[in-house]
Copies of this chain bind each other. A is one copy, B any other.
């Protein structure tokens, strides 16, 4: 088998800094975790909050702390620091090669989607961001790593897209239409969802948007681990 992870990320229109932070960390017992946080408001303040949350979670995961405990610790640290005045969403997607499971941790009102073949499950149980109170409980979903699984996680910029214009995005429908058309790679799916949202916002995203797609495939190629990052560095406008 092989796991592919793809991320597509864009800033709110005319801001140079995204309030969303995403990082990947290797798990000490094998596998890796992707950690995504969206700090309240936008710009520099939001960035500082989401970076603090991601840093806390990643530091704990690297020490072998379990995902749920890491989320709770980040929430307590944020609440202690900001006394409930600043909150942050958090999603963790982990490939745990010890248990051979995928572990999804969510403190985010925005749902997640799990796709297997034709079936698309929406995980939309009520979930509260970090830092809102003491004892914030993360929602945890764990299942075996299986060929064909596709997981879609995103920050609320995706669901807010088009709302101001009365044409909100139907994320499930957008996922379904991409999956029906073809057998898309994870980057194509992430790019397509992000592009859809940006179009609904008429090319001026009303919020930072991050889309994370994880796909389990039967292995076709070699045994090489690969990572690639693309970072445009001149602000929003095209050159």
Binding site for B on A (CB under 8 A): 1-11, 16-17, 21-26, 28, 30-32, 48, 51, 55, 59, 62, 95, 97, 145, 186-187, 190-191, 194, 218-219, 221-239
Contacts and interface: CB of A to CB of B under 8 A. Distances in A.
Identical copies of this chain, number: 2
A186 B228 contact: yes
A51 to B, nearest CB: 7
B224 A237 contact: no
Contacts of A230: 2-5, 224-227
A25 B59 CA distance: 12
A59 B190 CA distance: 29
A1 B233 contact: yes
Given A23-B24, A222-B238, A229 B191 contact: no
A221 B10 CA distance: 13
A10 B229 contact: no
Contacts of A237: 223
Given A26-B21, A26-B23, A238-B223, A5 B55 contact: no
Contacts of A11: 223
A8 B51 contact: no
B226 A191 contact: yes
Contacts of A8: 224-226
A221 B6 CA distance: 17
9 contacts: A5-B227, A6-B229, A8-B225, A95-B233, A186-B228, A219-B239, A221-B232, A223-B236, A226-B228
Given A4-B229, A6-B226, A32-B229, 18 more contacts: A1-B233, A1-B234, A2-B232, A4-B230, A5-B227, A5-B228, A5-B230, A6-B227, A7-B226, A8-B226, A10-B225, A24-B24, A24-B229, A28-B51, A55-B59, A191-B226, A219-B234, A226-B228
